[in-house]
Each structure stands twice: as structure tokens, then as C-alpha cells.
Amino acid sequence: MTESLKFLQNMQEITQLEIDQLDAAGQLTDVWNRPAIVKLPESYLKKLAAASFTPGIFLLAPSSVIRGALLVDSKHRLLIWQNLRSCTQHHLEQAGSAIWFGLNQHWPKIHKTFENELPLPEHILENHNSYELEKRMLSAVRNGDDSSYQHYFRLLTSSGAFGQVAKDRLRNQKNLLICHITLLTRQAIEGGLAPNEAFALSDQLCQQVESLQTIEQLNARLQAIGQIFIQRIQTTRQAQNNKKGLLTQKIEAALRDHCGQNYSLDDLAHDLQRDKYYLAHLYKQETGQTINQYENSYRISRFKSMLLWTDQPITEIAAVLGFATPNYASRCFKKIVGIAPQQYRQRHQLKLLQQ
């Protein structure tokens, strides 16, 4: 790996901008030599690669909104994209200048857009972010997988634009972060973090968001918030796993993966290639509860989360979680939680509204 490529990778992490490399053949890749997320027409990229430009940084502005920059020097043609819609022009100029200085050891000239020669396609980052990528990012949080979270976070923020929920830009970004925190709180609870701990962390992070006063500060906080939740999940799981053997951890992971799928002890034994009576004895010996008790407790934790965070009827939740009937689901829920599902939903949703 060349020093310049390593530098560009570090700058992408620091600036939270998407940095893509354009070669002489018009191929656009990111700084890890993967296909670029931003899709531009092949004909446009070839023209961009062949065009003659004065060295410097060119700001790109479809519809008069700064969306990115083109960095041109003797060795590089880099497209630098705002992967967050609310990123300011000032931040883009500063980041582009720092990248240029790191590559050339002197400051660049900032040019106006080159749209009279090569207009930037209007569709760039004009749609909302991908729902499928959001689901994958949230799944990574729930699983405590920081590497996957960072990967899907990057893809998500580069897939489109965040919503406009307030007229004031600063207020809009704060509202988006609070929504982000709410989604992550739910995933953290489903991932094993105690609800009280998750809600306390949510409150703390929301207060921190309210104290920030610039778009740049808020953007820098966006990715870090997910990593904070993941770290808490990992710490919780590590503390639990330290008390359990590897086979016991595999038993619980298999039960979580097949929650709601009529997964029997015979199925578990087949997947783990162990005798079912041995698995049952081992699990009871290490945890003090039966495999069936763990399975039910996990289903109830999912039940509570779905009551709190969705509008699904109890009949649908019971079916998703694999209960034989809604009545049986309600009896199991009340036995463990102490109140009926509908009471739990009303009581805890009211608490959320009061916060």
C-alpha cells in the first residue's frame, strides 16, 4: 500500500467524507479499491478522467447545493462526497484543503464548479437513504458487530439524503440524531442490554446532542453513537459469557438465531452435533435453568421490545415469536413479567411519552 493511499484512508475516517479515486480509464473506486458507492454514468466518468483542469479543488453543486468536490493534482483525481446531507460547504472546503496539503505539501486553490463543461448529474444523493441498508446497520448494532456497523453506516450515509424534519438546519440535525438514538436503543435492548441501562444511556446521549452547537459536531457524533451502544452490548455479553462455557454460548446463540421457528431440542442437538440429553444436562449445570426456560425468557424479552417499539397486535407478535396461541403467549408473558402484554404496552409507552 502506498503512503498516499494510507493517508487517504485515514482522512476518510477523520473527515467522515466519501473519498473516491478516478483512474485514467474512468474507473471510480474508493480508497480501499472497492467499487465506489456513488454511481455516476460511465460516459461522464470517462469525460471527467480525460478533461483538462487547472490543479486545485473544484466544488460540485447540482441544483446550487454543494454536494462534493473534485481534487485535481499531477497524480490524483479524487471525488470527495458529502456522505451526510447536512455537511457544510465550509467543512468540505477545509477537508479538501487538508487532503490536498497532505498530498502536495502546499495549500490548494479553491475553484468554482466546472458545470459549464461537465454538469454534475442531478440525481446524486437526492433520494432518501436506503431502508435495506438501514436494517442491516441496525442488525449489526443488535449483534454487537462493530465492523459490520461501520461498513453499513458508511453505505447508508452515502446511499441518499436524511429527512427534513425541521426548517432550521441545526434543529433538523439534532432531531435526526435523537431519532437515531431511539432506533439504536431498541436494538441494544434486543441485543441483550438491560432496558434500564439502555434508556439511561439514551437519555444521556440525547442531552449531549442538545448541547452541541454546530453541524460538524453533530455529524461527528452520528457514527460514534452507534459504536457506544455496541461497546455496551459487547461488555454485557462478555460479562455473561465469562461465566459460561463455549458450548453453552453456542446453545444460546442457536436459540436466539431460531427464535420463533419451532426449533426443537433434536434440531439443536443436530446442529451442534451433540447428544440432546448431554446438552440439556450441561446447560442446566452451568446456568441453573433449563434450555426451555432460556428460550422462553429470550422470547419474552423480544415480546417486550415488540410491544414497546411496534404497533403490531399481540396476535401477530405471538405468531412471529412462535407461540402456539395468543392466549398461551399472554400466559407465558404474565408468568415472567407479572402483568399482561396489553398492560405492559400501555404502561411503558406512557412512560416514553412522559420523558
pLDDT in tens, the chain (355 residues): 688 888 998 888 777 778 899 998 999 998 888 888 777 788 888 888 888 888 988 887 655 556 678 888 888 898 887 655 455 677 788 888 999 999 999 999 888 665 445 555 554 544 567 777 888 889 889 988 888 888 788 778 766 667 778 888 899 889 999 999 999 999 999 888 888 899 999 999 999 999 999 887 887 788 789 999 998 998 888 777 676 788 888 898 899 888 888 899 999 999 999 999 999 999 998 888 999 999 988 899 888 878 877 778 899 999 989 898 999 999 999 998 999 999 888 877 655 544 4
- In the chain, where the domains are located: 3-111, 131-241, 246-346
pLDDT for residue 279: 92
The answer to whether 71 and 44 have CB atoms below 8 angstroms apart is no
User: In angstroms, rounded to a whole number, what is the distance separating the alpha carbons of residues 34 and 43?
Assistant: 20
Could you give the C-alpha distances from 33 to 1, 29, 49, 50, 302, in angstroms and in order? Answer: 11, 5, 17, 20, 40
The residue among 56, 55, 20, 50 whose CA lies nearest residue 38 is 20
Could you give the C-alpha distances from 75 to 38, 44, 69, 71, 267, in angstroms and in order? Answer: 22, 20, 16, 10, 59
Written as nine digits, the cell of 239 is 460479562
What is the SS3 assignment for 89-156? HHHHHHHHHHHHHHHHCCCCCEECCCCCCCCCCCCCCCCECCHHHHHHHHHHHHCCCHHHHHHHHHHH
pLDDT for residue 125: 45
In sign, the C-alpha dihedral spanning 31, 36, 37, 43 is positive
CATH architecture of 246-346: Orthogonal Bundle (1.10)
Length of the chain as a residue count: 355
User: In angstroms, rounded to a whole number, what is the distance separating the alpha carbons of residues 260 and 265?
Assistant: 14
pTM for the predicted model, two decimal places: 0.50
Could you give the C-alpha distances from 134 to 82, 150, 223, 275, in angstroms and in order? Answer: 18, 12, 13, 40
Name the DSSP class of 161: B
CATH of domain 3-111: 3.30.450
Name the DSSP class of 274: S
- Indicate the residue type of 333: F
**Most distant CA pair in the chain: distance in Å?**
75
Written as nine digits, the cell of 107 is 495549500
Going across the sheet that includes 56-60, the strands are: 28-30, 18-22, 77-81, 68-72, 56-60, 110-111
Q: How far from each other are the two terminal CA atoms of the chain, in whole angstroms?
A: 51
